[in-house]
Structure 1
Amino acid sequence: MESLFLLVLGNTEISLIPGISVAGATPELTKFTPPADAEYLFYEKPRIINAIPVTPEGHPTPAIITKASRELAKFPILVVRGGSYLAPLLPHVHISDIVGRDFRKEKAIPKVEEIIERTKLLGEELNRTNIKELVIGESTPGGTTTAQAVLWALGYDAKTSSASPRNPQELKEKVIKEGFERVGIKNGDLKNEPIKALAEFGDPTLATILGISMGFKRDVVLAGGTQMLAVAALLKALGEDLSRFMIATTKWVVNDESATFLKTAREIGIITYSADLDFSGLKYRGLQDYEKGYVKEGVGAGGSVWLAVKAGFSPEDVARKVEELYERLISRT
Protein backbone atom coordinates (compact mmCIF):
# COMPACT_ATOMS: atom_id res chain seq x y z
CA MET A 1 0.00 0.00 0.00
CA GLU A 2 1.77 3.11 -1.23
CA SER A 3 -0.81 5.81 -0.39
CA LEU A 4 -3.36 6.08 2.41
CA PHE A 5 -6.18 8.60 2.36
CA LEU A 6 -7.06 10.04 5.78
CA LEU A 7 -10.30 11.95 6.29
CA VAL A 8 -10.26 14.14 9.39
CA LEU A 9 -13.63 15.14 10.85
CA GLY A 10 -14.08 18.25 12.96
CA ASN A 11 -16.55 20.90 14.00
CA THR A 12 -16.24 24.45 15.19
CA GLU A 13 -18.90 26.60 16.81
CA ILE A 14 -17.95 29.23 14.25
CA SER A 15 -20.07 27.31 11.70
CA LEU A 16 -23.18 28.16 13.75
CA ILE A 17 -22.79 31.88 12.98
CA PRO A 18 -25.52 32.60 10.39
CA GLY A 19 -24.07 33.21 6.94
CA ILE A 20 -20.54 32.03 7.58
CA SER A 21 -20.80 28.44 6.30
CA VAL A 22 -22.87 26.77 3.59
CA ALA A 23 -21.53 23.28 4.34
CA GLY A 24 -25.04 22.24 5.28
CA ALA A 25 -28.60 23.30 4.44
CA THR A 26 -28.78 25.24 7.75
CA PRO A 27 -26.20 26.24 10.39
CA GLU A 28 -27.58 23.62 12.79
CA LEU A 29 -27.27 20.86 10.18
CA THR A 30 -23.53 21.56 9.85
CA LYS A 31 -23.18 19.48 13.02
CA PHE A 32 -24.07 16.41 10.92
CA THR A 33 -21.94 17.25 7.87
CA PRO A 34 -18.59 15.69 8.89
CA PRO A 35 -19.88 12.23 9.89
CA ALA A 36 -22.35 12.21 6.99
CA ASP A 37 -19.54 13.00 4.54
CA ALA A 38 -17.47 10.12 5.91
CA GLU A 39 -20.34 7.66 5.78
CA TYR A 40 -21.18 8.53 2.19
CA LEU A 41 -17.68 7.47 1.12
CA PHE A 42 -18.42 3.93 2.34
CA TYR A 43 -22.18 3.57 1.82
CA GLU A 44 -24.71 4.62 -0.80
CA LYS A 45 -25.93 7.34 1.56
CA PRO A 46 -25.14 8.55 5.09
CA ARG A 47 -26.54 6.64 8.04
CA ILE A 48 -26.34 9.24 10.79
CA ILE A 49 -28.84 11.39 8.90
CA ASN A 50 -31.16 10.40 6.06
CA ALA A 51 -29.78 12.97 3.63
CA ILE A 52 -26.68 13.83 1.66
CA PRO A 53 -24.93 16.99 2.95
CA VAL A 54 -25.87 19.85 0.63
CA THR A 55 -25.52 23.62 0.46
CA PRO A 56 -28.64 25.71 1.18
CA GLU A 57 -29.15 25.81 -2.62
CA GLY A 58 -29.01 22.01 -2.81
CA HIS A 59 -25.54 21.42 -4.26
CA PRO A 60 -24.10 18.05 -3.24
CA THR A 61 -21.15 17.60 -0.91
CA PRO A 62 -17.68 17.41 -2.50
CA ALA A 63 -17.55 13.94 -0.95
CA ILE A 64 -19.12 12.86 -4.25
CA ILE A 65 -15.78 13.66 -5.95
CA THR A 66 -13.78 11.73 -3.38
CA LYS A 67 -16.18 8.78 -3.61
CA ALA A 68 -15.89 8.81 -7.41
CA SER A 69 -12.08 8.85 -7.26
CA ARG A 70 -12.10 6.02 -4.71
CA GLU A 71 -14.42 3.86 -6.82
CA LEU A 72 -11.98 4.27 -9.72
CA ALA A 73 -8.62 4.04 -7.95
CA LYS A 74 -9.62 1.75 -5.02
CA PHE A 75 -7.42 3.59 -2.51
CA PRO A 76 -7.94 2.86 1.22
CA ILE A 77 -9.53 5.44 3.51
CA LEU A 78 -9.02 5.85 7.24
CA VAL A 79 -11.44 8.18 9.03
CA VAL A 80 -10.11 10.19 11.99
CA ARG A 81 -12.42 11.99 14.42
CA GLY A 82 -10.43 15.05 15.37
CA GLY A 83 -13.14 16.80 17.35
CA SER A 84 -16.74 16.62 16.12
CA TYR A 85 -20.21 16.81 17.60
CA LEU A 86 -21.04 13.32 16.35
CA ALA A 87 -19.10 10.17 15.55
CA PRO A 88 -19.57 8.54 12.14
CA LEU A 89 -21.33 5.18 12.15
CA LEU A 90 -18.33 3.34 10.79
CA PRO A 91 -14.89 2.25 12.08
CA HIS A 92 -12.64 5.24 12.76
CA VAL A 93 -9.77 6.52 14.86
CA HIS A 94 -11.01 8.56 17.81
CA ILE A 95 -8.87 11.54 18.81
CA SER A 96 -11.38 13.83 20.51
CA ASP A 97 -15.08 14.63 20.76
CA ILE A 98 -14.46 18.22 21.84
CA VAL A 99 -15.44 20.68 19.13
CA GLY A 100 -13.77 24.00 18.44
CA ARG A 101 -15.14 26.91 20.45
CA ASP A 102 -16.31 30.28 19.18
CA PHE A 103 -13.02 32.18 19.35
CA ARG A 104 -14.81 35.50 19.74
CA LYS A 105 -15.76 34.40 23.26
CA GLU A 106 -13.07 31.97 24.42
CA LYS A 107 -9.99 30.00 23.39
CA ALA A 108 -10.86 27.84 20.38
CA ILE A 109 -9.01 24.66 21.43
CA PRO A 110 -8.44 24.47 25.21
CA LYS A 111 -6.45 21.19 25.04
CA VAL A 112 -4.58 21.71 21.79
CA GLU A 113 -1.36 20.11 23.08
CA GLU A 114 -3.29 16.94 23.93
CA ILE A 115 -4.69 16.68 20.38
CA ILE A 116 -1.27 17.28 18.84
CA GLU A 117 0.36 14.68 21.12
CA ARG A 118 -2.23 12.02 20.25
CA THR A 119 -2.13 12.70 16.52
CA LYS A 120 1.67 12.77 16.39
CA LEU A 121 1.49 9.30 17.92
CA LEU A 122 -0.84 8.22 15.09
CA GLY A 123 1.57 9.62 12.50
CA GLU A 124 4.49 7.86 14.15
CA GLU A 125 2.65 4.53 14.11
CA LEU A 126 1.92 4.96 10.41
CA ASN A 127 5.69 5.28 9.91
CA ARG A 128 5.90 1.61 10.93
CA THR A 129 3.86 0.58 7.89
CA ASN A 130 4.92 0.48 4.24
CA ILE A 131 2.85 3.58 3.46
CA LYS A 132 4.92 6.07 1.49
CA GLU A 133 2.38 8.88 1.23
CA LEU A 134 -0.46 10.21 3.36
CA VAL A 135 -3.20 12.15 1.60
CA ILE A 136 -5.11 14.04 4.30
CA GLY A 137 -8.53 15.54 3.62
CA GLU A 138 -11.03 17.15 5.97
CA SER A 139 -14.69 17.89 6.56
CA THR A 140 -15.07 20.92 8.81
CA PRO A 141 -17.92 23.41 8.36
CA GLY A 142 -16.71 26.91 9.19
CA GLY A 143 -13.11 25.80 8.79
CA THR A 144 -12.15 28.46 6.26
CA THR A 145 -12.82 31.15 8.87
CA THR A 146 -10.72 29.50 11.56
CA ALA A 147 -7.98 28.90 8.99
CA GLN A 148 -7.99 32.56 7.95
CA ALA A 149 -7.81 33.62 11.59
CA VAL A 150 -4.75 31.41 12.15
CA LEU A 151 -3.09 32.73 8.98
CA TRP A 152 -3.68 36.33 10.05
CA ALA A 153 -2.31 35.63 13.53
CA LEU A 154 0.83 34.21 11.89
CA GLY A 155 1.24 37.33 9.76
CA TYR A 156 -0.15 36.29 6.37
CA ASP A 157 -2.44 38.71 4.53
CA ALA A 158 -4.59 35.80 3.37
CA LYS A 159 -8.17 35.38 2.30
CA THR A 160 -9.66 31.91 2.43
CA SER A 161 -12.23 30.54 0.03
CA SER A 162 -15.85 29.58 0.58
CA ALA A 163 -18.29 26.88 -0.53
CA SER A 164 -20.47 29.71 -1.83
CA PRO A 165 -19.84 31.85 -4.93
CA ARG A 166 -20.49 34.78 -2.59
CA ASN A 167 -17.57 34.44 -0.21
CA PRO A 168 -18.70 36.04 3.10
CA GLN A 169 -15.31 37.74 3.47
CA GLU A 170 -16.67 40.80 5.30
CA LEU A 171 -18.35 38.58 7.89
CA LYS A 172 -15.22 36.44 8.27
CA GLU A 173 -13.07 39.52 8.85
CA LYS A 174 -15.54 40.94 11.38
CA VAL A 175 -15.55 37.66 13.32
CA ILE A 176 -11.75 37.38 13.21
CA LYS A 177 -11.26 40.95 14.40
CA GLU A 178 -13.60 40.29 17.33
CA GLY A 179 -11.48 37.28 18.23
CA PHE A 180 -8.26 39.30 17.97
CA GLU A 181 -9.78 41.94 20.26
CA ARG A 182 -10.53 39.27 22.86
CA VAL A 183 -6.89 38.15 22.89
CA GLY A 184 -5.53 41.68 22.48
CA ILE A 185 -3.49 41.11 19.33
CA LYS A 186 -3.28 42.32 15.75
CA ASN A 187 -2.24 40.58 12.52
CA GLY A 188 1.15 38.91 12.82
CA ASP A 189 1.52 39.20 16.58
CA LEU A 190 1.70 35.42 17.01
CA LYS A 191 4.10 34.66 14.15
CA ASN A 192 6.58 33.26 16.68
CA GLU A 193 3.88 31.49 18.72
CA PRO A 194 2.19 29.12 16.25
CA ILE A 195 0.69 26.82 18.88
CA LYS A 196 -0.91 29.78 20.62
CA ALA A 197 -2.31 30.98 17.27
CA LEU A 198 -3.80 27.53 16.73
CA ALA A 199 -5.14 27.24 20.27
CA GLU A 200 -6.77 30.68 20.25
CA PHE A 201 -8.25 30.75 16.74
CA GLY A 202 -8.07 27.31 15.12
CA ASP A 203 -10.21 24.19 15.19
CA PRO A 204 -9.64 20.52 16.08
CA THR A 205 -9.18 19.55 12.43
CA LEU A 206 -6.21 21.88 11.99
CA ALA A 207 -4.65 20.53 15.20
CA THR A 208 -5.23 16.92 14.13
CA ILE A 209 -3.76 17.34 10.66
CA LEU A 210 -0.80 19.26 12.12
CA GLY A 211 0.01 16.48 14.58
CA ILE A 212 -0.30 13.66 12.06
CA SER A 213 1.84 15.59 9.57
CA MET A 214 4.56 16.11 12.16
CA GLY A 215 4.53 12.48 13.30
CA PHE A 216 4.56 10.91 9.83
CA LYS A 217 7.99 11.46 8.28
CA ARG A 218 7.35 10.60 4.64
CA ASP A 219 5.40 12.44 1.93
CA VAL A 220 2.23 14.25 2.95
CA VAL A 221 -0.40 15.62 0.59
CA LEU A 222 -2.60 18.19 2.33
CA ALA A 223 -5.80 17.52 0.41
CA GLY A 224 -7.90 20.64 0.63
CA GLY A 225 -8.20 24.25 -0.30
CA THR A 226 -7.30 27.37 1.59
CA GLN A 227 -7.71 25.62 4.97
CA MET A 228 -4.60 23.60 4.25
CA LEU A 229 -2.64 26.83 3.85
CA ALA A 230 -3.07 27.29 7.60
CA VAL A 231 -1.68 23.79 8.25
CA ALA A 232 1.30 24.52 5.99
CA ALA A 233 1.92 27.86 7.70
CA LEU A 234 1.87 26.19 11.13
CA LEU A 235 4.26 23.46 9.95
CA LYS A 236 6.65 26.09 8.61
CA ALA A 237 6.48 28.12 11.82
CA LEU A 238 7.31 24.98 13.80
CA GLY A 239 10.42 24.36 11.70
CA GLU A 240 9.17 21.50 9.50
CA ASP A 241 10.81 21.00 6.10
CA LEU A 242 8.03 21.70 3.61
CA SER A 243 9.81 19.90 0.76
CA ARG A 244 7.96 16.68 1.64
CA PHE A 245 4.57 18.43 1.66
CA MET A 246 2.17 19.44 -1.09
CA ILE A 247 -1.32 20.94 -1.12
CA ALA A 248 -3.70 19.24 -3.57
CA THR A 249 -6.85 21.17 -4.36
CA THR A 250 -9.22 21.83 -7.28
CA LYS A 251 -9.14 24.41 -10.06
CA TRP A 252 -12.21 26.02 -8.47
CA VAL A 253 -10.16 27.05 -5.42
CA VAL A 254 -7.22 28.21 -7.53
CA ASN A 255 -9.54 30.30 -9.73
CA ASP A 256 -11.40 31.84 -6.78
CA GLU A 257 -10.71 35.58 -7.09
CA SER A 258 -12.13 36.23 -3.62
CA ALA A 259 -9.33 34.15 -2.06
CA THR A 260 -5.51 34.22 -2.16
CA PHE A 261 -4.66 30.54 -2.59
CA LEU A 262 -1.67 30.71 -4.94
CA LYS A 263 -0.32 33.97 -3.48
CA THR A 264 -0.40 32.62 0.07
CA ALA A 265 1.01 29.24 -0.97
CA ARG A 266 3.99 31.03 -2.55
CA GLU A 267 4.50 33.12 0.59
CA ILE A 268 4.51 29.98 2.73
CA GLY A 269 6.72 28.12 0.26
CA ILE A 270 4.65 25.01 -0.43
CA ILE A 271 4.02 23.45 -3.82
CA THR A 272 0.46 22.88 -5.05
CA TYR A 273 -1.50 20.57 -7.34
CA SER A 274 -4.80 21.57 -8.93
CA ALA A 275 -7.27 18.94 -10.12
CA ASP A 276 -8.54 20.13 -13.50
CA LEU A 277 -12.11 18.91 -13.14
CA ASP A 278 -14.77 20.24 -15.52
CA PHE A 279 -18.44 19.74 -14.67
CA SER A 280 -19.83 22.10 -17.32
CA GLY A 281 -20.79 19.24 -19.63
CA LEU A 282 -22.49 17.10 -16.99
CA LYS A 283 -26.25 16.60 -17.13
CA TYR A 284 -27.26 17.93 -13.74
CA ARG A 285 -27.42 21.54 -12.59
CA GLY A 286 -26.35 20.63 -9.05
CA LEU A 287 -23.03 19.51 -10.55
CA GLN A 288 -22.78 22.12 -13.32
CA ASP A 289 -22.94 24.83 -10.66
CA TYR A 290 -19.52 23.80 -9.36
CA GLU A 291 -18.30 25.77 -12.41
CA LYS A 292 -20.08 28.84 -11.01
CA GLY A 293 -18.17 28.76 -7.74
CA TYR A 294 -20.40 26.56 -5.60
CA VAL A 295 -18.74 24.10 -3.18
CA LYS A 296 -15.24 24.13 -4.81
CA GLU A 297 -13.45 21.70 -2.46
CA GLY A 298 -13.74 19.61 0.68
CA VAL A 299 -13.52 16.01 1.91
CA GLY A 300 -10.12 15.83 0.23
CA ALA A 301 -11.59 16.21 -3.28
CA GLY A 302 -8.42 17.54 -4.93
CA GLY A 303 -6.25 14.95 -3.21
CA SER A 304 -8.58 12.14 -4.23
CA VAL A 305 -8.24 13.18 -7.87
CA TRP A 306 -4.45 13.24 -7.37
CA LEU A 307 -4.66 9.57 -6.33
CA ALA A 308 -6.98 8.70 -9.23
CA VAL A 309 -4.62 10.35 -11.74
CA LYS A 310 -1.64 8.51 -10.23
CA ALA A 311 -3.61 5.29 -10.73
CA GLY A 312 -4.02 6.03 -14.45
CA PHE A 313 -7.41 7.74 -14.56
CA SER A 314 -8.11 11.20 -15.96
CA PRO A 315 -10.07 14.10 -14.44
CA GLU A 316 -12.65 13.37 -17.16
CA ASP A 317 -12.98 9.82 -15.84
CA VAL A 318 -13.61 11.22 -12.37
CA ALA A 319 -16.23 13.67 -13.67
CA ARG A 320 -18.11 10.87 -15.46
CA LYS A 321 -18.04 8.78 -12.30
CA VAL A 322 -19.36 11.77 -10.29
CA GLU A 323 -22.30 12.00 -12.71
CA GLU A 324 -22.95 8.29 -12.29
CA LEU A 325 -22.93 8.61 -8.50
CA TYR A 326 -25.29 11.59 -8.68
CA GLU A 327 -27.71 9.54 -10.78
CA ARG A 328 -27.55 6.79 -8.18
CA LEU A 329 -28.41 9.33 -5.48
CA ILE A 330 -31.34 10.67 -7.45
CA SER A 331 -32.70 7.18 -8.03
CA ARG A 332 -32.71 6.57 -4.27
CA THR A 333 -34.37 9.86 -3.35
Structure 2
Amino acid sequence: MTASYAALRAQLDTLTTEAFRPELAEIDRLSTLEIARTMNAGDATVPAAVAAQLPHIAAAIDAIAARMARGGRLVYAGAGTAGRMGVLDASECPPTFNTDPAQVVGLIAGGPGAMVEAVEGAEDSAGLAAADLAALELAAADTVIGISASGRTPYAVGAVEYARTRGALTVGLSCNAGSALAAAAEHGIEVVVGPELLTGSTRLKAGTAQKLVLNLISTITMIRLGKTYGNLMVDLRASNEKLRARSRRIVALATGAPDEEIEAALDATGGEVKQAVLVLLGAVDGPTAAGLLTTANGHLREALALARDL
Protein backbone atom coordinates (compact mmCIF):
# COMPACT_ATOMS: atom_id res chain seq x y z
CA MET A 1 0.00 0.00 0.00
CA THR A 2 1.50 3.35 -1.06
CA ALA A 3 1.66 6.26 1.36
CA SER A 4 -0.69 8.35 -0.80
CA TYR A 5 -3.26 5.54 -0.97
CA ALA A 6 -3.06 5.03 2.78
CA ALA A 7 -3.59 8.75 3.38
CA LEU A 8 -6.59 8.84 1.03
CA ARG A 9 -8.13 5.80 2.70
CA ALA A 10 -7.64 7.41 6.10
CA GLN A 11 -9.42 10.53 4.86
CA LEU A 12 -12.34 8.56 3.47
CA ASP A 13 -12.70 6.70 6.75
CA THR A 14 -13.45 10.00 8.49
CA LEU A 15 -16.23 11.08 6.10
CA THR A 16 -19.85 10.49 7.04
CA THR A 17 -20.79 10.23 3.38
CA GLU A 18 -18.34 7.33 2.98
CA ALA A 19 -19.38 5.40 6.09
CA PHE A 20 -20.31 1.72 5.82
CA ARG A 21 -23.72 0.67 7.11
CA PRO A 22 -23.33 -2.92 8.39
CA GLU A 23 -27.08 -3.33 8.79
CA LEU A 24 -27.35 -3.16 4.99
CA ALA A 25 -24.60 -5.69 4.28
CA GLU A 26 -27.16 -8.17 2.92
CA ILE A 27 -29.52 -5.71 1.29
CA ASP A 28 -29.17 -7.55 -2.01
CA ARG A 29 -30.98 -10.50 -0.42
CA LEU A 30 -34.08 -8.43 0.34
CA SER A 31 -37.11 -8.20 -1.93
CA THR A 32 -37.34 -5.32 -4.35
CA LEU A 33 -40.11 -3.73 -2.28
CA GLU A 34 -38.07 -4.02 0.92
CA ILE A 35 -35.06 -2.36 -0.74
CA ALA A 36 -37.31 0.39 -2.09
CA ARG A 37 -38.80 1.01 1.36
CA THR A 38 -35.34 1.13 2.94
CA MET A 39 -34.07 3.57 0.34
CA ASN A 40 -37.17 5.75 0.56
CA ALA A 41 -36.94 5.90 4.36
CA GLY A 42 -33.36 7.14 4.04
CA ASP A 43 -34.35 9.75 1.47
CA ALA A 44 -37.06 11.04 3.84
CA THR A 45 -34.36 12.25 6.25
CA VAL A 46 -32.77 14.60 3.72
CA PRO A 47 -35.22 17.55 4.07
CA ALA A 48 -34.62 17.63 7.82
CA ALA A 49 -30.87 17.82 7.23
CA VAL A 50 -31.45 20.71 4.83
CA ALA A 51 -33.75 22.41 7.34
CA ALA A 52 -30.97 22.44 9.93
CA GLN A 53 -28.90 24.57 7.53
CA LEU A 54 -31.63 27.06 6.54
CA PRO A 55 -30.17 30.00 8.51
CA HIS A 56 -26.84 29.53 6.70
CA ILE A 57 -28.61 29.09 3.36
CA ALA A 58 -30.71 32.24 3.87
CA ALA A 59 -27.64 34.31 4.78
CA ALA A 60 -25.89 33.11 1.63
CA ILE A 61 -28.93 33.92 -0.52
CA ASP A 62 -29.14 37.48 0.78
CA ALA A 63 -25.46 38.01 0.01
CA ILE A 64 -25.80 36.46 -3.46
CA ALA A 65 -28.88 38.52 -4.34
CA ALA A 66 -27.14 41.73 -3.29
CA ARG A 67 -24.23 40.95 -5.62
CA MET A 68 -26.45 39.93 -8.52
CA ALA A 69 -28.55 43.07 -8.13
CA ARG A 70 -25.35 44.97 -8.90
CA GLY A 71 -24.78 42.92 -12.06
CA GLY A 72 -22.80 40.04 -10.61
CA ARG A 73 -22.98 36.46 -11.83
CA LEU A 74 -23.68 33.23 -9.95
CA VAL A 75 -21.21 30.43 -10.73
CA TYR A 76 -21.50 26.83 -9.55
CA ALA A 77 -18.35 24.70 -9.51
CA GLY A 78 -18.13 20.99 -8.76
CA ALA A 79 -17.02 17.59 -9.98
CA GLY A 80 -19.01 14.48 -10.85
CA THR A 81 -22.56 14.41 -9.46
CA ALA A 82 -22.01 17.68 -7.59
CA GLY A 83 -20.90 19.40 -10.79
CA ARG A 84 -23.87 18.01 -12.69
CA MET A 85 -26.24 19.39 -10.05
CA GLY A 86 -24.74 22.83 -10.54
CA VAL A 87 -24.93 22.66 -14.33
CA LEU A 88 -28.55 21.45 -14.10
CA ASP A 89 -29.59 24.30 -11.83
CA ALA A 90 -27.82 26.88 -13.96
CA SER A 91 -29.37 25.55 -17.18
CA GLU A 92 -32.88 25.86 -15.73
CA CYS A 93 -32.59 29.56 -14.90
CA PRO A 94 -32.92 31.03 -18.44
CA PRO A 95 -36.22 29.33 -19.31
CA THR A 96 -37.66 29.79 -15.81
CA PHE A 97 -36.54 33.32 -14.98
CA ASN A 98 -35.51 34.73 -18.37
CA THR A 99 -31.92 35.19 -17.20
CA ASP A 100 -29.06 35.62 -19.61
CA PRO A 101 -27.23 32.26 -19.94
CA ALA A 102 -24.09 34.04 -18.74
CA GLN A 103 -25.77 35.22 -15.53
CA VAL A 104 -25.94 31.81 -13.85
CA VAL A 105 -23.16 29.44 -14.92
CA GLY A 106 -22.42 25.82 -14.06
CA LEU A 107 -18.82 24.59 -14.21
CA ILE A 108 -18.03 20.88 -14.01
CA ALA A 109 -14.52 19.49 -13.67
CA GLY A 110 -13.46 18.17 -17.05
CA GLY A 111 -15.76 20.43 -19.06
CA PRO A 112 -19.16 19.78 -20.72
CA GLY A 113 -18.22 16.24 -21.70
CA ALA A 114 -18.07 15.32 -18.01
CA MET A 115 -21.85 15.73 -17.84
CA VAL A 116 -22.29 12.34 -19.50
CA GLU A 117 -18.94 10.62 -19.06
CA ALA A 118 -16.46 10.63 -16.19
CA VAL A 119 -13.25 12.59 -16.81
CA GLU A 120 -10.65 10.84 -14.72
CA GLY A 121 -8.48 13.06 -12.56
CA ALA A 122 -10.32 16.30 -13.31
CA GLU A 123 -11.78 16.55 -9.82
CA ASP A 124 -8.29 16.34 -8.30
CA SER A 125 -7.12 19.60 -9.87
CA ALA A 126 -7.53 22.87 -8.00
CA GLY A 127 -5.58 24.51 -10.83
CA LEU A 128 -8.19 23.41 -13.35
CA ALA A 129 -10.89 25.18 -11.32
CA ALA A 130 -8.82 28.35 -11.22
CA ALA A 131 -8.32 28.17 -14.98
CA ASP A 132 -12.04 27.65 -15.62
CA LEU A 133 -12.91 30.67 -13.48
CA ALA A 134 -10.17 32.78 -15.05
CA ALA A 135 -11.68 31.99 -18.46
CA LEU A 136 -14.93 33.53 -17.21
CA GLU A 137 -13.00 36.64 -16.16
CA LEU A 138 -14.35 36.26 -12.64
CA ALA A 139 -14.88 39.60 -10.90
CA ALA A 140 -15.55 40.90 -7.40
CA ALA A 141 -19.28 41.29 -8.12
CA ASP A 142 -19.63 37.56 -8.82
CA THR A 143 -20.45 34.64 -6.53
CA VAL A 144 -18.88 31.19 -6.69
CA ILE A 145 -20.55 28.21 -5.03
CA GLY A 146 -18.26 25.21 -4.64
CA ILE A 147 -20.23 21.95 -4.44
CA SER A 148 -18.78 18.72 -3.07
CA ALA A 149 -20.42 15.91 -1.12
CA SER A 150 -17.20 15.11 0.71
CA GLY A 151 -16.27 18.76 1.16
CA ARG A 152 -12.69 17.97 0.17
CA THR A 153 -12.79 17.74 -3.65
CA PRO A 154 -9.82 19.79 -4.90
CA TYR A 155 -11.75 21.22 -7.86
CA ALA A 156 -14.51 22.64 -5.63
CA VAL A 157 -12.15 23.83 -2.91
CA GLY A 158 -9.81 25.31 -5.52
CA ALA A 159 -12.70 27.18 -7.13
CA VAL A 160 -13.61 28.81 -3.83
CA GLU A 161 -10.00 29.64 -3.00
CA TYR A 162 -9.42 31.24 -6.41
CA ALA A 163 -12.69 33.18 -6.17
CA ARG A 164 -11.61 34.69 -2.87
CA THR A 165 -8.42 35.98 -4.48
CA ARG A 166 -10.63 37.82 -6.99
CA GLY A 167 -12.81 39.35 -4.27
CA ALA A 168 -15.86 37.30 -5.29
CA LEU A 169 -18.42 36.08 -2.76
CA THR A 170 -17.90 32.40 -1.92
CA VAL A 171 -20.21 29.63 -0.71
CA GLY A 172 -19.20 26.06 0.11
CA LEU A 173 -21.90 23.38 -0.10
CA SER A 174 -20.95 19.97 1.28
CA CYS A 175 -22.48 16.99 3.09
CA ASN A 176 -19.88 16.50 5.82
CA ALA A 177 -19.32 18.54 8.96
CA GLY A 178 -16.04 20.36 9.44
CA SER A 179 -15.25 20.29 5.73
CA ALA A 180 -12.33 21.99 4.02
CA LEU A 181 -14.80 23.48 1.54
CA ALA A 182 -16.86 25.23 4.21
CA ALA A 183 -13.69 26.44 5.89
CA ALA A 184 -12.46 27.97 2.64
CA ALA A 185 -15.72 29.80 1.89
CA GLU A 186 -17.31 32.85 3.45
CA HIS A 187 -20.61 30.99 3.70
CA GLY A 188 -20.35 27.32 4.64
CA ILE A 189 -23.41 25.10 4.16
CA GLU A 190 -22.91 21.56 5.48
CA VAL A 191 -25.95 19.32 4.98
CA VAL A 192 -25.04 16.15 6.86
CA VAL A 193 -27.25 13.43 5.40
CA GLY A 194 -25.33 10.47 6.81
CA PRO A 195 -24.10 7.28 5.14
CA GLU A 196 -25.54 6.25 1.79
CA LEU A 197 -27.54 3.12 1.00
CA LEU A 198 -24.64 2.08 -1.23
CA THR A 199 -21.41 2.91 0.55
CA GLY A 200 -19.90 6.09 -0.89
CA SER A 201 -22.52 6.54 -3.62
CA THR A 202 -23.06 10.25 -3.06
CA ARG A 203 -25.37 10.62 -6.05
CA LEU A 204 -28.04 9.37 -3.62
CA LYS A 205 -28.87 11.30 -0.42
CA ALA A 206 -26.01 13.75 -0.86
CA GLY A 207 -27.09 14.46 -4.45
CA THR A 208 -30.68 14.95 -3.32
CA ALA A 209 -29.54 17.38 -0.63
CA GLN A 210 -27.48 19.35 -3.14
CA LYS A 211 -30.45 19.58 -5.49
CA LEU A 212 -32.71 20.85 -2.69
CA VAL A 213 -30.21 23.47 -1.58
CA LEU A 214 -29.55 24.69 -5.11
CA ASN A 215 -33.30 24.93 -5.68
CA LEU A 216 -33.50 27.15 -2.60
CA ILE A 217 -30.57 29.32 -3.64
CA SER A 218 -31.54 29.97 -7.25
CA THR A 219 -35.30 30.28 -6.66
CA ILE A 220 -35.17 32.62 -3.68
CA THR A 221 -32.39 34.68 -5.23
CA MET A 222 -34.57 35.19 -8.30
CA ILE A 223 -37.52 36.14 -6.09
CA ARG A 224 -35.31 38.74 -4.43
CA LEU A 225 -34.29 40.04 -7.87
CA GLY A 226 -37.92 40.61 -8.84
CA LYS A 227 -38.19 37.68 -11.21
CA THR A 228 -41.56 36.68 -9.74
CA TYR A 229 -44.85 38.32 -8.79
CA GLY A 230 -46.06 36.45 -5.76
CA ASN A 231 -45.57 32.83 -6.75
CA LEU A 232 -45.97 33.49 -10.47
CA MET A 233 -43.03 33.24 -12.89
CA VAL A 234 -43.63 36.55 -14.61
CA ASP A 235 -40.17 36.57 -16.18
CA LEU A 236 -40.87 33.28 -17.92
CA ARG A 237 -39.40 32.99 -21.41
CA ALA A 238 -42.03 31.63 -23.80
CA SER A 239 -39.75 29.63 -26.06
CA ASN A 240 -42.21 26.91 -27.08
CA GLU A 241 -45.95 26.33 -27.36
CA LYS A 242 -46.26 24.91 -23.84
CA LEU A 243 -44.55 27.98 -22.38
CA ARG A 244 -46.65 30.32 -24.50
CA ALA A 245 -49.77 28.70 -23.04
CA ARG A 246 -48.26 29.01 -19.57
CA SER A 247 -47.55 32.71 -20.24
CA ARG A 248 -51.21 33.36 -20.99
CA ARG A 249 -52.22 31.47 -17.87
CA ILE A 250 -49.79 33.43 -15.68
CA VAL A 251 -51.16 36.74 -16.97
CA ALA A 252 -54.69 35.47 -16.32
CA LEU A 253 -53.84 34.42 -12.75
CA ALA A 254 -52.11 37.71 -12.02
CA THR A 255 -54.79 39.97 -13.48
CA GLY A 256 -58.08 38.08 -13.80
CA ALA A 257 -58.49 39.73 -17.21
CA PRO A 258 -60.52 38.11 -20.01
CA ASP A 259 -58.74 36.23 -22.77
CA GLU A 260 -59.05 38.94 -25.40
CA GLU A 261 -57.44 41.55 -23.12
CA ILE A 262 -54.65 39.16 -22.22
CA GLU A 263 -53.89 38.49 -25.88
CA ALA A 264 -53.91 42.20 -26.62
CA ALA A 265 -51.54 42.94 -23.73
CA LEU A 266 -49.14 40.19 -24.76
CA ASP A 267 -49.20 41.47 -28.35
CA ALA A 268 -48.47 45.00 -27.12
CA THR A 269 -45.46 43.83 -25.12
CA GLY A 270 -43.94 41.35 -27.55
CA GLY A 271 -45.03 38.44 -25.40
CA GLU A 272 -43.29 39.70 -22.25
CA VAL A 273 -45.38 38.39 -19.35
CA LYS A 274 -44.26 40.92 -16.74
CA GLN A 275 -44.93 43.86 -19.03
CA ALA A 276 -48.32 42.44 -20.03
CA VAL A 277 -49.34 42.18 -16.36
CA LEU A 278 -48.27 45.79 -15.82
CA VAL A 279 -50.24 46.92 -18.89
CA LEU A 280 -53.39 45.32 -17.49
CA LEU A 281 -53.03 46.12 -13.78
CA GLY A 282 -51.37 49.51 -14.21
CA ALA A 283 -53.56 50.68 -17.10
CA VAL A 284 -50.56 51.78 -19.17
CA ASP A 285 -49.41 51.06 -22.70
CA GLY A 286 -46.58 48.69 -23.65
CA PRO A 287 -43.73 51.24 -23.95
CA THR A 288 -44.73 52.87 -20.67
CA ALA A 289 -44.78 49.49 -18.97
CA ALA A 290 -41.27 48.76 -20.24
CA GLY A 291 -40.02 52.11 -18.96
CA LEU A 292 -41.59 51.68 -15.54
CA LEU A 293 -40.02 48.25 -15.15
CA THR A 294 -36.63 49.65 -16.06
CA THR A 295 -37.02 52.34 -13.41
CA ALA A 296 -38.10 49.71 -10.87
CA ASN A 297 -35.12 47.45 -11.71
CA GLY A 298 -37.51 44.77 -12.93
CA HIS A 299 -39.61 44.57 -9.75
CA LEU A 300 -43.25 44.39 -10.83
CA ARG A 301 -44.73 45.51 -7.51
CA GLU A 302 -42.57 48.63 -7.53
CA ALA A 303 -43.50 49.32 -11.15
CA LEU A 304 -47.20 49.02 -10.28
CA ALA A 305 -46.74 51.56 -7.51
CA LEU A 306 -45.07 53.90 -10.00
CA ALA A 307 -47.94 53.38 -12.47
CA ARG A 308 -50.48 54.40 -9.81
CA ASP A 309 -48.64 57.69 -9.37
CA LEU A 310 -48.77 58.62 -13.06
TM superposition score normalised by structure 2: 0.30
Q: Which of the pair has the greater relative contact order for Cα pairs under 8 Å at 6+ separation?
A: 1
Structure with greater proportional helix content: 2
TM superposition score normalised by structure 1: 0.28
Larger radius of gyration: 2
